[in-house]
Structure 1
Protein backbone atom coordinates (compact mmCIF):
# COMPACT_ATOMS: atom_id res chain seq x y z
CA UNK A 1 0.00 0.00 0.00
CA UNK A 2 1.53 3.18 -1.15
CA UNK A 3 -1.09 5.83 -0.48
CA UNK A 4 -0.08 9.42 -0.92
CA UNK A 5 -1.24 11.66 1.88
CA UNK A 6 -1.98 15.22 0.86
CA UNK A 7 -1.80 17.75 3.64
CA UNK A 8 -4.20 20.68 3.89
CA UNK A 9 -1.20 22.98 3.47
CA UNK A 10 -0.39 21.24 0.17
CA UNK A 11 -3.98 21.67 -1.00
CA UNK A 12 -3.87 25.34 -0.04
CA UNK A 13 -0.52 25.84 -1.76
CA UNK A 14 -1.84 24.22 -4.93
CA UNK A 15 -4.99 26.36 -4.80
CA UNK A 16 -2.97 29.54 -4.34
CA UNK A 17 -0.78 28.62 -7.33
CA UNK A 18 -3.90 28.06 -9.45
CA UNK A 19 -5.36 31.37 -8.25
CA UNK A 20 -2.11 33.20 -9.05
CA UNK A 21 -1.97 31.59 -12.50
CA UNK A 22 -5.59 32.45 -13.29
CA UNK A 23 -5.03 35.97 -11.98
CA UNK A 24 -2.07 36.41 -14.33
CA UNK A 25 -4.23 35.28 -17.26
CA UNK A 26 -7.06 37.64 -16.23
CA UNK A 27 -4.70 40.61 -15.80
CA UNK A 28 -2.98 39.88 -19.14
CA UNK A 29 -6.38 39.71 -20.86
CA UNK A 30 -7.49 42.99 -19.28
CA UNK A 31 -4.28 44.76 -20.34
CA UNK A 32 -4.67 43.45 -23.87
CA UNK A 33 -8.38 44.32 -23.97
CA UNK A 34 -7.91 47.87 -22.71
CA UNK A 35 -4.51 48.82 -24.14
CA UNK A 36 -3.48 46.38 -26.85
CA UNK A 37 -6.35 45.65 -29.22
CA UNK A 38 -5.66 48.43 -31.67
CA UNK A 39 -8.24 50.69 -33.25
CA UNK A 40 -10.13 48.17 -35.40
CA UNK A 41 -12.39 47.35 -32.45
CA UNK A 42 -13.74 50.91 -32.52
CA UNK A 43 -15.37 50.38 -35.90
CA UNK A 44 -18.56 49.10 -34.29
CA UNK A 45 -21.00 51.90 -33.56
CA UNK A 46 -21.65 52.23 -29.87
CA UNK A 47 -25.28 51.87 -28.80
CA UNK A 48 -26.65 55.01 -27.15
CA UNK A 49 -26.76 53.45 -23.68
CA UNK A 50 -22.96 53.00 -23.66
CA UNK A 51 -22.60 56.73 -22.91
CA UNK A 52 -24.30 56.08 -19.54
CA UNK A 53 -21.87 53.36 -18.47
CA UNK A 54 -19.34 55.64 -16.67
CA UNK A 55 -22.16 56.72 -14.31
CA UNK A 56 -23.25 53.09 -13.92
CA UNK A 57 -19.64 52.11 -13.17
CA UNK A 58 -19.32 54.82 -10.52
CA UNK A 59 -22.58 53.64 -8.95
CA UNK A 60 -21.44 50.01 -8.93
CA UNK A 61 -18.14 50.98 -7.30
CA UNK A 62 -20.03 52.99 -4.69
CA UNK A 63 -22.27 49.99 -4.02
CA UNK A 64 -19.24 47.70 -3.69
CA UNK A 65 -17.57 50.02 -1.20
CA UNK A 66 -20.81 50.37 0.76
CA UNK A 67 -21.22 46.59 0.93
CA UNK A 68 -17.62 46.16 2.11
CA UNK A 69 -18.04 48.77 4.87
CA UNK A 70 -21.36 47.22 5.93
CA UNK A 71 -19.69 43.79 5.96
CA UNK A 72 -16.92 45.13 8.17
CA UNK A 73 -19.44 46.57 10.60
CA UNK A 74 -21.37 43.29 10.66
CA UNK A 75 -18.30 41.14 11.34
CA UNK A 76 -17.16 43.51 14.11
CA UNK A 77 -20.53 42.87 15.75
CA UNK A 78 -20.17 39.12 15.27
CA UNK A 79 -22.94 38.92 12.66
CA UNK A 80 -21.33 36.37 10.34
CA UNK A 81 -24.35 35.65 8.13
CA UNK A 82 -24.92 39.35 7.41
CA UNK A 83 -21.18 39.81 6.84
CA UNK A 84 -21.15 36.97 4.30
CA UNK A 85 -24.19 38.44 2.52
CA UNK A 86 -22.47 41.83 2.24
CA UNK A 87 -19.26 40.25 0.91
CA UNK A 88 -21.24 38.32 -1.70
CA UNK A 89 -23.08 41.52 -2.67
CA UNK A 90 -19.74 43.37 -2.92
CA UNK A 91 -18.35 40.63 -5.15
CA UNK A 92 -21.42 40.61 -7.41
CA UNK A 93 -21.41 44.40 -7.78
CA UNK A 94 -17.66 44.34 -8.50
CA UNK A 95 -18.13 41.70 -11.21
CA UNK A 96 -20.98 43.78 -12.66
CA UNK A 97 -18.61 46.78 -12.64
CA UNK A 98 -15.95 44.81 -14.50
CA UNK A 99 -18.44 43.66 -17.14
CA UNK A 100 -19.81 47.16 -17.75
CA UNK A 101 -16.27 48.61 -17.68
CA UNK A 102 -15.22 46.17 -20.40
CA UNK A 103 -18.33 46.90 -22.45
CA UNK A 104 -17.61 50.63 -22.24
CA UNK A 105 -13.96 50.17 -23.21
CA UNK A 106 -14.92 47.93 -26.09
CA UNK A 107 -16.62 50.92 -27.71
CA UNK A 108 -14.73 53.88 -26.24
CA UNK A 109 -11.81 55.35 -28.10
CA UNK A 110 -8.58 55.97 -26.24
CA UNK A 111 -8.46 59.56 -24.98
CA UNK A 112 -4.97 60.79 -24.08
CA UNK A 113 -4.72 63.01 -21.01
CA UNK A 114 -4.32 66.59 -22.17
CA UNK A 115 -3.70 68.28 -18.82
CA UNK A 116 -0.61 70.40 -18.27
CA UNK A 117 1.36 71.61 -15.29
CA UNK A 118 1.21 69.99 -11.85
CA UNK A 119 -2.00 68.10 -12.63
CA UNK A 120 -0.29 65.94 -15.27
CA UNK A 121 2.15 64.14 -12.92
CA UNK A 122 -0.58 63.95 -10.26
CA UNK A 123 -2.93 62.30 -12.77
CA UNK A 124 -0.32 59.78 -13.89
CA UNK A 125 0.64 58.98 -10.29
CA UNK A 126 -3.00 58.25 -9.46
CA UNK A 127 -3.43 56.26 -12.69
CA UNK A 128 -0.28 54.19 -12.08
CA UNK A 129 -1.17 53.46 -8.44
CA UNK A 130 -4.71 52.52 -9.54
CA UNK A 131 -3.35 50.08 -12.14
CA UNK A 132 -0.84 48.51 -9.72
CA UNK A 133 -3.46 48.11 -6.99
CA UNK A 134 -6.00 46.63 -9.39
CA UNK A 135 -3.41 44.03 -10.47
CA UNK A 136 -2.57 43.17 -6.85
CA UNK A 137 -6.22 42.85 -5.80
CA UNK A 138 -7.13 40.17 -8.40
CA UNK A 139 -5.31 37.28 -6.64
CA UNK A 140 -6.35 38.63 -3.24
CA UNK A 141 -10.01 38.45 -4.21
CA UNK A 142 -9.54 34.99 -5.70
CA UNK A 143 -7.82 33.74 -2.54
CA UNK A 144 -10.45 35.30 -0.30
CA UNK A 145 -13.29 33.72 -2.25
CA UNK A 146 -11.54 30.33 -2.30
CA UNK A 147 -10.87 30.25 1.44
CA UNK A 148 -14.33 31.63 2.29
CA UNK A 149 -16.01 29.01 0.09
CA UNK A 150 -14.03 26.33 1.93
CA UNK A 151 -14.93 27.97 5.25
CA UNK A 152 -11.21 28.37 6.03
CA UNK A 153 -11.36 31.59 8.01
Structure 2
Protein backbone atom coordinates (compact mmCIF):
# COMPACT_ATOMS: atom_id res chain seq x y z
CA UNK A 1 0.00 0.00 0.00
CA UNK A 2 2.89 2.40 0.68
CA UNK A 3 4.07 2.05 -2.93
CA UNK A 4 0.65 3.22 -4.11
CA UNK A 5 0.69 6.12 -1.66
CA UNK A 6 4.16 7.14 -2.88
CA UNK A 7 2.92 7.23 -6.48
CA UNK A 8 -0.44 8.91 -5.86
CA UNK A 9 0.77 12.51 -6.33
CA UNK A 10 3.02 11.70 -9.34
CA UNK A 11 0.12 9.86 -11.01
CA UNK A 12 -2.17 12.85 -10.47
CA UNK A 13 0.45 15.29 -11.75
CA UNK A 14 1.36 13.23 -14.82
CA UNK A 15 -2.32 12.61 -15.60
CA UNK A 16 -2.96 16.36 -15.61
CA UNK A 17 0.33 17.56 -17.10
CA UNK A 18 0.47 15.28 -20.15
CA UNK A 19 -2.85 16.43 -21.67
CA UNK A 20 -2.21 20.08 -20.77
CA UNK A 21 1.35 20.09 -22.13
CA UNK A 22 0.30 18.24 -25.29
CA UNK A 23 -2.55 20.71 -25.85
CA UNK A 24 -0.16 23.64 -25.44
CA UNK A 25 2.60 22.12 -27.56
CA UNK A 26 0.08 21.16 -30.22
CA UNK A 27 -0.53 24.87 -30.84
CA UNK A 28 3.17 25.85 -30.76
CA UNK A 29 5.05 25.83 -34.05
CA UNK A 30 8.83 25.91 -33.73
CA UNK A 31 9.11 28.15 -36.81
CA UNK A 32 6.93 30.73 -35.03
CA UNK A 33 9.50 30.76 -32.24
CA UNK A 34 12.33 31.49 -34.68
CA UNK A 35 13.64 27.93 -35.08
CA UNK A 36 14.46 26.96 -38.63
CA UNK A 37 13.23 23.36 -38.64
CA UNK A 38 12.05 21.14 -41.43
CA UNK A 39 8.60 19.60 -41.00
CA UNK A 40 8.83 16.09 -39.61
CA UNK A 41 6.27 14.94 -42.17
CA UNK A 42 7.67 11.39 -42.16
CA UNK A 43 6.44 10.79 -38.58
CA UNK A 44 2.66 10.11 -38.95
CA UNK A 45 3.03 6.65 -40.54
CA UNK A 46 5.69 5.80 -37.96
CA UNK A 47 3.61 6.78 -34.96
CA UNK A 48 0.55 5.09 -36.48
CA UNK A 49 2.64 1.92 -36.75
CA UNK A 50 3.67 2.36 -33.12
CA UNK A 51 -0.03 2.54 -32.21
CA UNK A 52 -0.63 -0.70 -34.10
CA UNK A 53 2.31 -2.34 -32.31
CA UNK A 54 0.90 -1.12 -28.99
CA UNK A 55 -2.43 -2.76 -29.77
CA UNK A 56 -0.69 -6.04 -30.63
CA UNK A 57 1.41 -5.83 -27.47
CA UNK A 58 -1.70 -5.32 -25.36
CA UNK A 59 -3.40 -8.33 -26.91
CA UNK A 60 -0.24 -10.43 -26.47
CA UNK A 61 0.03 -9.29 -22.83
CA UNK A 62 -3.56 -10.32 -22.18
CA UNK A 63 -2.85 -13.70 -23.77
CA UNK A 64 0.31 -14.06 -21.63
CA UNK A 65 -1.43 -13.42 -18.33
CA UNK A 66 -4.37 -15.67 -19.22
CA UNK A 67 -1.84 -18.42 -19.97
CA UNK A 68 -0.06 -17.91 -16.65
CA UNK A 69 3.04 -16.25 -18.07
CA UNK A 70 3.37 -13.28 -15.69
CA UNK A 71 6.97 -12.45 -16.63
CA UNK A 72 6.06 -12.26 -20.32
CA UNK A 73 2.97 -10.23 -19.43
CA UNK A 74 5.07 -7.77 -17.45
CA UNK A 75 7.64 -7.42 -20.22
CA UNK A 76 4.96 -6.87 -22.88
CA UNK A 77 3.21 -4.25 -20.76
CA UNK A 78 6.47 -2.37 -20.18
CA UNK A 79 7.11 -2.32 -23.93
CA UNK A 80 3.51 -1.17 -24.55
CA UNK A 81 4.01 1.72 -22.11
CA UNK A 82 7.30 2.57 -23.81
CA UNK A 83 5.59 2.52 -27.22
CA UNK A 84 2.89 4.88 -25.94
CA UNK A 85 5.55 7.28 -24.68
CA UNK A 86 7.41 7.06 -27.98
CA UNK A 87 4.15 7.76 -29.83
CA UNK A 88 3.54 10.81 -27.65
CA UNK A 89 6.99 12.27 -28.30
CA UNK A 90 6.69 11.76 -32.06
CA UNK A 91 3.14 13.10 -32.15
CA UNK A 92 4.15 16.31 -30.40
CA UNK A 93 7.33 16.66 -32.51
CA UNK A 94 5.29 16.30 -35.71
CA UNK A 95 2.72 18.90 -34.66
CA UNK A 96 5.38 21.36 -33.50
CA UNK A 97 7.13 21.25 -36.89
CA UNK A 98 4.30 20.76 -39.38
CA UNK A 99 1.20 22.58 -40.52
CA UNK A 100 -2.04 21.09 -39.26
CA UNK A 101 -3.83 18.69 -41.55
CA UNK A 102 -7.63 18.71 -41.62
CA UNK A 103 -9.90 15.93 -42.77
CA UNK A 104 -11.44 16.80 -46.12
CA UNK A 105 -8.83 19.41 -47.06
CA UNK A 106 -8.90 20.47 -50.68
CA UNK A 107 -7.33 18.17 -53.25
CA UNK A 108 -4.17 18.98 -55.17
CA UNK A 109 -6.10 21.45 -57.40
CA UNK A 110 -7.21 23.39 -54.34
CA UNK A 111 -10.88 22.46 -54.75
CA UNK A 112 -13.08 19.51 -53.98
CA UNK A 113 -15.32 18.23 -56.73
CA UNK A 114 -19.04 17.91 -55.85
CA UNK A 115 -18.84 14.11 -55.73
CA UNK A 116 -15.86 14.36 -53.38
CA UNK A 117 -17.70 16.81 -51.10
CA UNK A 118 -20.60 14.44 -50.59
CA UNK A 119 -18.35 11.43 -49.98
CA UNK A 120 -16.13 13.39 -47.61
CA UNK A 121 -19.13 14.75 -45.68
CA UNK A 122 -20.40 11.35 -44.56
CA UNK A 123 -17.00 9.95 -43.75
CA UNK A 124 -16.02 13.22 -42.06
CA UNK A 125 -18.69 12.69 -39.37
CA UNK A 126 -17.37 9.19 -38.70
CA UNK A 127 -13.80 10.51 -38.65
CA UNK A 128 -14.66 13.19 -36.09
CA UNK A 129 -16.49 10.69 -33.88
CA UNK A 130 -13.47 8.37 -33.92
CA UNK A 131 -11.05 11.27 -33.40
CA UNK A 132 -12.98 12.83 -30.51
CA UNK A 133 -13.49 9.50 -28.73
CA UNK A 134 -9.81 8.69 -29.32
CA UNK A 135 -8.68 12.00 -27.79
CA UNK A 136 -11.05 11.84 -24.81
CA UNK A 137 -10.18 8.25 -23.99
CA UNK A 138 -6.44 8.87 -24.46
CA UNK A 139 -6.70 11.40 -21.64
CA UNK A 140 -8.76 9.10 -19.44
CA UNK A 141 -6.46 6.12 -19.96
CA UNK A 142 -3.34 7.86 -18.60
CA UNK A 143 -4.21 7.59 -14.90
CA UNK A 144 -5.81 4.18 -15.44
CA UNK A 145 -2.60 2.75 -16.93
CA UNK A 146 -0.43 4.37 -14.28
CA UNK A 147 -2.60 3.12 -11.40
CA UNK A 148 -2.75 -0.36 -12.93
CA UNK A 149 1.04 -0.41 -13.28
CA UNK A 150 1.63 0.80 -9.72
CA UNK A 151 -0.75 -1.82 -8.34
CA UNK A 152 1.27 -4.47 -10.15
CA UNK A 153 4.48 -3.01 -8.70
CA UNK A 154 2.85 -3.15 -5.26
CA UNK A 155 1.95 -6.78 -5.95
CA UNK A 156 -1.69 -6.00 -5.22
CA UNK A 157 -2.77 -8.20 -8.10
CA UNK A 158 -6.41 -8.39 -7.03
CA UNK A 159 -6.67 -4.59 -7.31
CA UNK A 160 -4.45 -4.63 -10.41
CA UNK A 161 -6.89 -6.97 -12.17
CA UNK A 162 -9.91 -4.86 -11.21
CA UNK A 163 -8.57 -1.70 -12.80
CA UNK A 164 -6.90 -3.54 -15.68
CA UNK A 165 -10.36 -4.73 -16.75
CA UNK A 166 -11.23 -1.06 -17.26
CA UNK A 167 -7.85 0.21 -18.52
CA UNK A 168 -7.20 -2.57 -21.05
CA UNK A 169 -10.20 -2.06 -23.38
CA UNK A 170 -9.81 1.72 -23.26
CA UNK A 171 -6.09 1.56 -24.04
CA UNK A 172 -6.71 -0.97 -26.81
CA UNK A 173 -9.43 1.27 -28.28
CA UNK A 174 -7.09 4.29 -28.16
CA UNK A 175 -4.30 2.34 -29.90
CA UNK A 176 -6.59 0.97 -32.63
CA UNK A 177 -8.40 4.25 -33.25
CA UNK A 178 -5.02 6.00 -33.48
CA UNK A 179 -4.31 3.82 -36.49
CA UNK A 180 -7.80 4.43 -37.93
CA UNK A 181 -7.44 8.20 -37.54
CA UNK A 182 -4.12 8.06 -39.42
CA UNK A 183 -5.57 5.91 -42.22
CA UNK A 184 -8.54 8.24 -42.61
CA UNK A 185 -6.54 11.48 -42.66
CA UNK A 186 -3.49 10.21 -44.58
CA UNK A 187 -4.88 11.28 -48.00
CA UNK A 188 -5.02 14.88 -46.78
CA UNK A 189 -1.41 15.24 -45.61
CA UNK A 190 0.44 17.94 -47.57
Residue correspondence of structure 1 range 95-110 to structure 2 within 5 A: 95-110=85-100
Distance across 2 between alignment mates of 1:145 and 1:42:
40
Scaled by the length of structure 2, the TM-score of the pair is: 0.65
Residue correspondence of structure 1 range 4-153 to structure 2 within 5 A: 8=1, 12=4, 15-34=7-26, 36-37=27-28, 40-41=32-33, 44-46=36-38, 50-114=40-104, 116-153=120-157
Deviation at 1:70, TM superposition (A): 0.9
Structure 1: segments with no counterpart, 5+ residues? 1-7
Distance across 2 between alignment mates of 1:112 and 1:43:
24
Structure 1's 108 and 152: CA in aligned 2 closer, same or farther, altered over 3 A?
A: same
Deviation at 1:43, TM superposition (A): 5.8
Distance across 2 between alignment mates of 1:107 and 1:54:
12
Kept after mapping to 2: 8 A contact 1:42/1:107? no
Kept after mapping to 2: 8 A contact 1:72/1:83? yes
Runs of 4+ off more than 6 Å: none
Kept after mapping to 2: 8 A contact 1:71/1:84? yes
Structure 1's 42 and 83: CA in aligned 2 closer, same or farther, altered over 3 A?
A: farther
Deviation at 1:17, TM superposition (A): 4.8
Equivalent residue pairs, number: 142
Deviation at 1:13, TM superposition (A): 5.8
